[in-house]
Structure 1
């Protein structure tokens, strides 16, 4: 054991805080304080404990700190079905598993799993018990290009059929590629087709410009207009994303995470328009939430991410929480579109953050706010593991580890040393679906 490792280990053992009961989280809630944006990450998309702890902490934030929304790394139209369900405006009866039915794109287990089902059921019951404003559930991602365009047309068909006709004409620019946005991106980037950027932008601008008249005297609520406007924004950004895929990972990654923070901003503005203050819990992978400026993502690849952008927009109101594990099992696929499998997670590499935390204890959290002793112990650059929906143990060092400065990425860190695989709702959780994004090799 090196001297720096030994010194850091002594500090972290002294500073670790228990993570067993709800009462144990009271000190974490105190650390969060008045933050209005609490970003809760995960070291993989297939670990039961990461989902469980995130749901537990989110319930406490809603009950004790009045958080008004949960925003997740999921497609906007899929998540909006959940929003309707938890707020009592759904035709899915009282069945959360049915309400999760729009999550059909690979990997379905990411949201169609037992923990999310139980959380969504709890949120519906919580909202039903309240007379005041209710907690919403929203998606931040942008893969649903065609579903979002269809949703815009469907909304306009109900409020203004002539406007729906204009929307169809604009979106017809994408028709020759069917529901294959990657083919569209390839054709436009290689000069075989004129980009549909202007058409997508014009549709968004029309919705925004006509917002007052579209809701004036209409039976549909301003929530439904907001849903349609966000779908139009998604279509514009997804069009850019699928073209950028063929320029390189950095360009498409930055468009995607910028879209996520734009969606957060839209949620804030929507609440403000109703005279309310938005307080949002965000669920996403550590790679999206751990500030990119404190990792090789930022200093080597010029990537930005949602955590960085949220801190930049709301520097005094953002609190970022990461989650890590040392070993155990994970639900993941060997390759894109392959079935999800329960796979063994190898022990953290020597010298990695996971190996250091393994020597600290089994289940705990650390306060990494500037000036804390634990933060001072984690200011050195070290490897950190990121497992998405694909896990490649044979090339784990190159496929899943990135150099980071943990104290710069997170305000708090939860570590659960040995973890279990997520339990999906579908036996065939790894079936291929349309509109597959390009996240290879890490699938985050």
Structure 2
């Protein structure tokens, strides 16, 4: 990839109307997966929201699945489909890093979505849901609340699963560690819980949410057992769970869906060095399952500011993002000159080149050594949005002092 390639293929991007070529590229696709090069950048969130609004209004997309927890996002879903102001649901996010979803940018989008949904019949409102696997304990509690009201005869099954995890001190990491050292686990209880709920819950929205919480518990149980063993398996458990959740949402809604997640999940892993490490991801799985009905969109920037933390669980703060590493995707695009541009990547040069990825844990002084994923850009994404200089996200509140459940550590994306 050269600066001449960039200048030749760059499309102007000043406002939302300049997304027209991307809307044409989406066509009749069923899934549009929209990335971000960091979890803490205002501009990625705001442009992703612009694109999503157009997909909902002009293309009829019926739900959004995000890299977030099912129970937390269920409260947002209830707000945007007819409940209270979404601000309260988003402000209530408490698991570190809260800034990913408890921020002004998501509040603005959720309030727009609430107004849009108010004009629609209940059965055609656009949902907002979490795809991720971490909320083991919160999902168990949600299942307990559901069964107490709707399926009291299943209370014993739920309590058996909860008591099994309580024996490990309500600590999923401790659970994973001890199951490596001892033959016992909670797998049997979780499988029984999942089977019972799958058989007995009605096919309404509340029943779907209960079954999905059971799927989260099952996925989290596998994830934490895999995490302590190291290697790529825990990453794969997580992304397969997200892909399965996306498919379940598509079946539940009978509609097209948008995904919001980090570039590392959205961009096809086979176009990066992740594949050599034995890793898959959501973008790869979407393409394998749905072919051209899945469109993948990445983001990138050269420099600016970002919200992140220096270690896991630490308070987040605004950090400077240094100019991109020479020879990287971001450096070449910067040298080519456009401040903002849209790229449709058909015919893009095939050589692998470093592409920056910033997680929630970030050390700017190590950026050039640690934050670049070798990528064949034209195979990793179908389209790419370039924003030369970007600003930090605007969190709603400070981080809690500690987190109960951990993301894929230490990559934190």
Matches for 1:387-398 after TM superposition, within 5 Å: 387-398=358-369
Choose from 40, 49, 60 the match for 2:43: 49
Q: Which residue does the alignment assign to 1:11?
A: 5
Matches for 1:188-267 after TM superposition, within 5 Å: 188-191=179-182, 194-211=184-201, 215=202, 222-267=204-249
Unaligned runs of 5+ in 1: 216-220, 272-276
Which secondary structure state, in structure 2, belongs to the residue aligned with residue 383 of structure 1?
A: strand
Q: Which residue does the alignment assign to 2:395?
A: 424
Choose from 63, 66, 72 the match for 1:78: 72
> Is residue 2:269 matched to residue 1:292?
yes
The CA distance in 2 between the partners of 1:23 and 1:54, in whole Å, is 14
> Is residue 2:392 matched to residue 1:443?
no
CA shift, 1:170, in A, is: 2.9
Q: Which residue does the alignment assign to 1:170?
A: 161
Choose from 366, 385, 401 the match for 2:372: 401
Q: Which residue does the alignment assign to 1:114?
A: 104
The CA distance in 2 between the partners of 1:210 and 1:367, in whole Å, is 46
* Cα 1:247/1:98, change in 2 over 3 Å: same
Size of the aligned set, in residue pairs, is 411
CA shift, 1:248, in A, is: 1.1
TM-score normalised by length of structure 2 = 0.97
Which secondary structure state, in structure 1, belongs to the residue aligned with residue 323 of structure 2?
A: coil
Q: Deviation digits for residues 75-131 of structure 1, max 9, x if unmatched? A: 01110111111111x3xx3x2220213411111110000110010011011000112
CA shift, 1:430, in A, is: 6.0
Q: Is the 8 A contact 1:333 1:430 kept in 2?
A: no
TM-score normalised by length of structure 1 = 0.90
Matches for 1:330-341 after TM superposition, within 5 Å: 330-341=306-317
Q: Deviation digits for residues 16-42 of structure 1, max 9, x if unmatched? A: 111111211111101111111000000
Q: Which residue does the alignment assign to 1:351?
A: 327
The CA distance in 2 between the partners of 1:144 and 1:102, in whole Å, is 15
Q: Is the 8 A contact 1:171 1:200 kept in 2?
A: no
> Is residue 2:4 matched to residue 1:35?
no
RMSD: 1.3
The CA distance in 2 between the partners of 1:236 and 1:250, in whole Å, is 19
Q: Which residue does the alignment assign to 2:131?
A: 140
Q: Deviation digits for residues 370-403 of structure 1, max 9, x if unmatched? A: xx3xx1x3x1111111101111123223431121
Unaligned runs of 5+ in 2: none
The CA distance in 1 between the partners of 2:231 and 2:359, in whole Å, is 15
Q: Deviation digits for residues 312-345 of structure 1, max 9, x if unmatched? A: 1100200000000000110110111111111010
The CA distance in 2 between the partners of 1:332 and 1:412, in whole Å, is 26
> Is residue 2:256 matched to residue 1:279?
yes
CA shift, 1:243, in A, is: 0.6
Runs of 4+ in structure 1 deviating by more than 6 angstroms, as ranges, are: none
Q: Is the 8 A contact 1:384 1:404 kept in 2?
A: yes
Q: Is the 8 A contact 1:179 1:435 kept in 2?
A: no
Q: Which residue does the alignment assign to 1:413?
A: 384
CA shift, 1:437, in A, is: 2.7
Q: Which residue does the alignment assign to 1:274?
A: none
Which secondary structure state, in structure 2, belongs to the residue aligned with residue 79 of structure 1?
A: helix
* Cα 1:282/1:438, change in 2 over 3 Å: closer
Q: Which residue does the alignment assign to 2:119?
A: 129
